[in-house]
Amino acid sequence: MKLVLQYFYKKRQVIGWSILCGLIYLLIFSLSGIDLKAAVYPALLCLVFGIVFLLAGFFRFIERHRRLEFLEKDKGPYGESLPKAADLCEADYQKLLKKEEQEWRDRQKVWDDTMSDMEDYYAAWVHQIKAPIAVMQVLLQQEDTEQSRELKAELFRVEQYAEMALSYVRLNDRGGGFDLVAAEYALDPVIRKAIRKYAGQFIRKKIQVVYQGTDEVVLTDEKWLSFIVEQILSNAVKYTQQGSVCI
């Protein structure tokens, strides 16, 4: 019903002009002394044809509305899928839309190329930084002093930051490299593995970790869940100066 009212509102000028013409027609017949019965037949014909034209226009209106509604749910591009313009004004609007869409595509391509170059750079940087980190770890393992332990702890943090950078690159990979694999996993092994990884950091700062274990099983991606838990523990050991961390 709403669409019917919108259509008649759109055609209000045409309908109003048709009614006015009919009244003028009857008025002229009346002033000319012609029997008004003679005007009934042509008036009915005009009414029938007018209803037919209105119905045909209404069905075209509905079809265009549904097509545009379908395009609205799509992600585009829209310019080549628009219905044929009904008039010159609508054709001008479609030209403007196609022009804006093409400019958006050009900007999007530049942005995608820039992001792709940046992601490639960060991925290469992370892989290259692993080599000197591994060398420093080997050198620090050759002695056990307070200074070497401090350096190991700081080197561990550097390695974690590099791994975090690589994870973010994978997360935003535009080439479809976001390898999310959802399955049911027990939480306890994931949490304990993260605790063991950061155990040296907690020991160095003399911070106790309180964890009683859990039997919970969740639907998740094991690798990315591990990444999140490790980030939480990293922040916990970083900002906890004394006391304990409770999971």
Query: pLDDT by residue for the chain (247 residues), tens digit each?
Result: 777 777 767 777 777 877 777 777 777 777 777 776 666 777 777 777 777 877 777 777 777 777 777 767 766 666 666 777 777 877 888 788 888 888 888 898 898 888 888 878 887 888 888 888 888 888 888 887 888 878 888 888 888 888 887 777 777 665 545 567 889 999 999 999 999 988 888 888 889 999 999 999 999 999 889 989 998 998 998 899 889 999 9
pLDDT value of residue 209: 92
State which amino acid sits at residue 66: R
Q: How many CA atoms lie within 13 A of 92 on its CB side?
A: 3
- Residue ranges of the domains in the chain? 2-74, 180-247
Helix or strand holding residue 183 (H, E): strand 183-186
Which DSSP string corresponds to 135-191?
Answer: HHHHHHTT---HHHHHHHHHHHHHHHHHHHHHHHHHHT-TTS------EEEEHHHHH
Q: If DSSP codes are grouped into helix, strand and coil, which group holds residue 210?
A: strand
Q: Tell me, yes or no, if the pTM score tops 0.75.
A: no
| Position 147, amino acid | Q
Supply the pLDDT for residue 36: 64
What architecture is domain 180-247? 2-Layer Sandwich (3.30)
